[in-house]
A = this chain, B = another copy of it.
Amino acid sequence: MCQINVGKNEATGIPSEVLESFLKQVLLREGVGRFDASAVSQGLLDASLRGVDSHGIRLFAHYLAAVRGGRVNPRPAFSLQCTKSGTGVLDADHGFGHAAGKKAVEHVKELATINGIGAVSVKNSTHFGAAAYFGNEIARSDMLGLCFTNSDPLIPPTGSSEPFLGNNPICFTAPILGEDPFCLDMATSQITFNEVLRLRASGESAPAGAGYDQCGYETVDPKKIVSLAPVGGYKGYGLSLMVEILCSLLAQMPYGPNVGHMYNDTLEKRRHLSHFFLAVDIGSFLDIEKFKTHIAALAGDLRNQIPVDSNAPIQIAGDPEKLCREQRLAYGIPISEVEVELFDQLSDLYGISWRESSD
């Protein structure tokens, strides 16, 4: 077995293709359709490779429980309605969000190829993982991608104490000459709730202004944090609301506090999540090679800016993930003890090895 360790808190580094194949095989054995199993395993490994561990293979246990519990439909009948020449609505039939997103991205790219721009709204979906998985797929087709999803209520509107909106992500992608796409994939909260949980466990304080207590007052004590501050105060609140409108209102799905919880609800309960995908065909504005050259120059100019700290060179959005991806492609994906235990159990259950690289 591959024993190379990358980063912290991991026991082993496993080649991503081995893990992707293993997770896909498990999902197939669990009755998940081929397209869906492929999308989920690919999406999870894509996030793990880029170091976005909160949205990587760590989620597999939850996804498995959600499909076993009945929340996720393992063999959804996606229904795509083409509403105008540049727009469509996909009913995901409560299937995996990764699969619904992948189907929506296929369609939105077709729309943008024909019309120069296209948008697809997705309804009756579930958690789709990291938005970057879809945004990068759009950018790899020489398009600009904008991907959004709504999520569990975590952010109170400015001035209130009650969580209402999700930390709804904004993902923007663009192709760059000679490297993986430019990828901004940001939550609209300052820190994630996973980070709060980590701080609680480690005994560290939260950054000032990142979380609120039950009464809606700012606190740095992670044990008291029950809701998250939007990025930049009322501006992040506005951005989160923008995403909520683009997702739940266009898809006619529940919004804000009516959205099904990822962890706090029973695993039988449908979540009725909604997403919005938008693609802009760059070739409809200028020669694509010219664009990719110009954006590479812009990225280069930014990275060449003089840093305040000479040990911390200037980056652009997505650079840390690109560096991590290179490392993990070379040295494998780190696996936690919890994952080792789960994968061993599944390996025994189905007679599929996840340690093939050691053979």
Contacts and interface: CB of A to CB of B under 8 A. Distances in A.
Contacts of A290: 252
A316 B160 contact: no
A161 B83 contact: no
For this chain, the copies found in one complex come to 2
Identify whether the interface residues of A are mostly helix, strand, loop, or mixed.
Answer: mixed
25 contacts: A83-B284, A84-B281, A85-B114, A86-B86, A86-B116, A86-B284, A87-B116, A87-B281, A117-B278, A156-B305, A159-B308, A162-B306, A164-B301, A182-B245, A184-B239, A186-B235, A215-B308, A231-B235, A238-B317, A241-B316, A249-B291, A250-B285, A251-B285, A252-B286, A255-B298
Contact of A232 (B162, B232, B284, B291): B232
A308 to B, nearest CB: 4
Interface string A55-89: 00000000000000000000000000001111101
A118 interface: yes
Interface of A: 83-87, 89, 114-119, 121, 144, 156-162, 164, 170, 172, 174, 182, 184, 186, 190, 215-217, 231-232, 234-239, 241-242, 244-246, 249-252, 255-257, 278, 280-282, 284-286, 290-291, 294-295, 298, 301-302, 305-309, 312-317
A106 to B, nearest CB: 17
